[in-house]
């Protein structure tokens, strides 16, 4: 019941089927707005006799330009010179257009199924665009899973070109459906299609976009906590977007209350592997380093099967930590329980020679530091010389600008890249779906 009550506060700018839940996530009573609305849109026009257009409605309700307002809705609207819409008026208008209604979306293919959710490829009848429908089953006793509540509450606040867009929410007694923009592959699938041979230009473009999205999140004190190639979605333009915020957390100050059972094992930093729950934005930066290495080398850096195996691979590669490389490690109880050998470390250049290009090794080393607080931040990493070849314009982009709006910037056709058809795309491995 607690989770169900939380859901009633979520969903900025979307409409639920439950009448008492508003588009801004507040109840009708809480919003203080009356439901007695005869002309909800109240388009403000100077020429009183001019016909109301779809452009007028889209602008008034802050809707996408490609959204097609139903003719029946358009004909009902009247001209008014009144001020801003009340929450209740906007909710009513959005509901009449079709937001918050499952019939607005057509299911096409089933993409995957997990413990709590099933994900479908779908199509919006309002825009004719493809969407991803994440249908979360609701248990009457338990309500919505906490991961779904986190995902909705965070995504409604995060508006960035490199973060997946949450278009709509459909809330019924049996399910909660999150309607996302559709991206046809993830980074893991993209690397598989390329035969693990990404050009350095594409590595830089993907890594820069990942850091842009993370810097935006971290600036707003949001930790992703589950970075991995399967949670980085890519569209046909090459735009990369962070997805699956189910494990993400908003933070105000570093705290000891977070779980250490976060981040898929291969991308989990050693401090978390050794039981630390006192972490901040640095938890994401270790994963960025692992993903950077995987794009450059074509294989995972630390593919451990267990926590002990994962730590063993890390220490063998980077050297067994000491007090000089990781202050306090000698008194860590979790570290003491494992019989680790003393390793001096291996050369990452030997394992991935392309790291020698454009200071790549220097940047990677700053991600993979044992002492969490010394890891480079996402915002600082964006300014690293590794990205100089992308030009200076990438540093002037606004939050919702695509990196490809920069003149001359484009993906290189990767060697052995295979274009998947619709049938193959269904097999993509995206944990965001579940």
Per-residue model confidence as pLDDT tens digits over 135-145: 888 875 555 66
Ranking 10-14, 59-63, 169-173, 247-251 by mean pLDDT, the lowest is: 10-14
Q: Do 251 and 341 share a domain, yes or no?
A: yes
pLDDT at 78: 54
Determine the average pLDDT of the residues in 143-153: 66
What is the domain range of residue 216?
186-422
pLDDT at 83: 57
Q: Do 206 and 163 share a domain, yes or no?
A: no
Judge whether residue 115 has pLDDT over 50. Answer: yes
Instruction: Assess if residue 53 is contained within a domain.
Output: no
Q: Do 400 and 291 share a domain, yes or no?
A: yes
Instruction: Assess if residue 79 is contained within a domain.
Output: no
Q: Is 173 a catalytic residue?
A: no
Determine the average pLDDT of the residues in 171-188: 88
Q: Do 196 and 342 share a domain, yes or no?
A: yes
Confidence of residue 256 (pLDDT cuts 50, 70, 90): very low
Q: Tokens representing 231? A: 């949670």
Q: Do 31 and 114 share a domain, yes or no?
A: yes
What tens digit of pLDDT does each residue of 90-102 get? 556 656 656 778 8
Judge whether residue 79 has pLDDT over 80. Answer: no
Judge whether residue 421 has pLDDT over 50. Answer: no
Judge whether residue 174 has pLDDT over 80. Answer: yes
DSSP string of 80-137, one letter each residue:
----SPPHHHHHHHHHHHTTT-GGGEEEEEEEEE-SSEEEEEEEETTT--EEEEEEEE
Judge whether residue 434 has pLDDT over 50. Answer: no
Residue with tokens 């607080």: 373
Q: Which of 182, 212, 229 is the last residue before a domain boundary?
A: 182
Judge whether residue 67 has pLDDT over 80. Answer: no
Q: Do 194 and 281 share a domain, yes or no?
A: yes
For residues 64 and 128, the answer to whether their CB atoms sit within 8 Å is: no
Q: Tokens representing 305? A: 């099967």
Judge whether residue 393 has pLDDT over 90. Answer: yes
Q: Is 179 exposed, middle or buried (0-12, 13-18, 19+ CB in 10 A)?
A: buried
Q: Do 354 and 410 share a domain, yes or no?
A: yes
Q: Do 262 and 407 share a domain, yes or no?
A: yes
Instruction: Assess if residue 316 is contained within a domain.
Output: yes
Q: What is the pTM of this model?
A: 0.75
Which CATH number characterizes residue 418's domain? 1.10.510.10
What tens digit of pLDDT does each residue of 362-390 get? 999 999 999 999 999 999 999 999 999 99
For residues 214 and 367, the answer to whether their CB atoms sit within 8 Å is: no
Q: Do 231 and 174 share a domain, yes or no?
A: no
pLDDT at 33: 40
Instruction: Assess if residue 289 is contained within a domain.
Output: yes
Q: Do 128 and 214 share a domain, yes or no?
A: no
Q: Do 228 and 159 share a domain, yes or no?
A: no
46 three-class SS: coil
For residues 154 and 245, the answer to whether their CB atoms sit within 8 Å is: yes
What tens digit of pLDDT does each residue of 7-28 get? 444 443 443 333 333 333 333 3
Instruction: Assess if residue 43 is contained within a domain.
Output: no
Q: How many residues does the chain have?
A: 434
Q: Which carries the bigger pLDDT value, residue 209 or residue 16?
A: 209
Q: Do 218 and 289 share a domain, yes or no?
A: yes
Instruction: Assess if residue 23 is contained within a domain.
Output: yes
Of the residues 56, 168, 186, 226, which is catalytic? 226
The structural domain count of the chain equals 2
Is 134 within any annotated ligand binding site?
Answer: yes
Instruction: Assess if residue 60 is contained within a domain.
Output: no
21 three-class SS: strand
Instruction: Assess if residue 318 is contained within a domain.
Output: yes
Q: Which carries the bigger pLDDT value, residue 150 or residue 256?
A: 150
Nearest to 293 by CA among 230, 241, 335, 351: 351
Which CATH number characterizes residue 3's domain? 3.30.200.20
| Residue 223 to residue 225: CA distance in whole angstroms | 6
């Amino acid at each position: 019941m607690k989770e169900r009550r939380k859901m009633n506060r979520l969903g900025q700018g979307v409409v639920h089927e439950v009448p008492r839940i508003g588009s801004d996530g507040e109840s009708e009573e809480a919003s203080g707005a009356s439901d007695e609305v005869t002309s909800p849109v109240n388009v403000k026009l100077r020429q009183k006799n001019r016909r109301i257009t779809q452009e007028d409605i889209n602008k008034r309700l802050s809707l996408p330009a490609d959204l097609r307002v139903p003719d029946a809705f358009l004909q009902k609207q009247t001209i008014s010179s009144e001020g801003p819409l009340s929450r209740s008026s906007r909710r009513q208008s959005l509901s009449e257009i079709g937001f918050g209604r499952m019939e607005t979306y057509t299911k096409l293919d089933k993409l995957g199924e997990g413990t709590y959710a099933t994900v479908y490829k779908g199509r919006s009848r309002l825009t004719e665009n493809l969407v991803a429908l994440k249908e979360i089953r609701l248990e009457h006793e338990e309500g919505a899973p906490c991961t779904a509540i986190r995902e909705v509450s965070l995504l409604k606040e995060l508006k960035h070109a490199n973060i997946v867009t949450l278009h709509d929410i459909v809330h019924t007694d049996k399910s909660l459906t999150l309607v996302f923009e559709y991206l046809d592959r993830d980074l893991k699938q993209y690397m598989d299609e390329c035969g693990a041979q990404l050009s350095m230009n594409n590595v830089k473009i993907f890594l820069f976009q990942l850091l842009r999205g993370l810097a935006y999140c971290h600036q707003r004190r949001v930790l992703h906590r589950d970075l991995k190639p399967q949670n980085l979605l890519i569209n046909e333009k090459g735009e990369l977007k962070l997805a699956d915020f189910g494990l993400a957390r908003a933070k105000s100050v570093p705290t000891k209350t977070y779980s250490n059972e976060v981040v898929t094992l291969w991308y989990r930093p050693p401090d978390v592997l050794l039981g630390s729950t006192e972490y901040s934005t640095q938890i994401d930066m270790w994963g960025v380093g692992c993903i950077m290495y995987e794009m450059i080398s074509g294989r995972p850096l630390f593919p451990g099967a267990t926590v002990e195996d994962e730590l063993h691979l890390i220490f063998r590669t980077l050297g067994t930590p000491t007090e000089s490389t990781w202050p306090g490690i000698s008194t860590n109880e979790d570290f003491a329980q494992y019989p680790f050998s003393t390793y001096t470390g291996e050369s990452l250049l030997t394992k991935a020679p392309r790291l020698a290009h454009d200071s790549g090794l220097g940047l990677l080393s700053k991600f993979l530091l044992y002492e969490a607080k010394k890891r480079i931040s996402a915002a600082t990493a964006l300014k690293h010389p590794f990205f100089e070849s992308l030009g200076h314009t990438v540093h002037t982009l606004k939050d919702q600008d695509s990196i490809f709006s920069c003149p001359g910037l484009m993906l290189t056709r990767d060697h052995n890249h295979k274009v998947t058809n619709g049938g193959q795309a269904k097999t993509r491995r995206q944990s965001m779906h579940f």
